[in-house]
Amino acid sequence: MDSETRTGRTGRPRREEVYSRLDHQVAELWGRMGGLPSPAEASDIWEGIWFAEAHHSTAIEGNTLVYRQVEELLRHGRAIGDKELREYMEVKGYADAAEWVYGQAQEGD
């Protein structure tokens, strides 16, 4: 059923309708799947996001480390390749800040 049929008008659905659909979909998610995994249960997903975010965000600013170098640096603390120390430190600093932000979100504050 489209929004014109429900509301008698064309265009965007009413706010109440959007909230109602969201509530229904969240309830369905909980009922069907038991909700989203906790951050601890999805740690491998978060780790992949962390690597990709650190790589892409610093690359936008001109950092020349490739994804594999970023992953090795963050996973094992090893700098591989022959890049300047500044580039490794930039990625590490960004990743530490992103990890702190993720931690704040997990605590629910």
Domain check: are 97 and 61 in the same one? yes
Domain that holds residue 77: 43-107
What are the DSSP E strand ranges found in 11-102? none
Domain check: are 25 and 58 in the same one? no
Domain check: are 29 and 82 in the same one? no
Domain check: are 22 and 59 in the same one? no
Domain check: are 26 and 63 in the same one? no
**Average pLDDT value for residue range 41-46:** 82
Domain check: are 24 and 63 in the same one? no
User: Which pLDDT score is estimated for 99?
Assistant: 87
Residue 80: inside a domain, yes or no? Answer: yes
Residue 74: inside a domain, yes or no? Answer: yes
Classify 95 in phi/psi space as left (phi over 0), alpha (psi -120 to 50) or beta.
Answer: alpha
Contacts of 63 (CB under 8 A, 6+ apart): 87, 90, 91
Mean pLDDT score across all residues of the chain: 85
pTM more than 0.75: no
Domain check: are 24 and 70 in the same one? no
Total of domains in the chain: 2
- Per-residue pLDDT tens over the stretch 44-80: 888 899 999 999 999 999 999 999 999 999 999 999 9
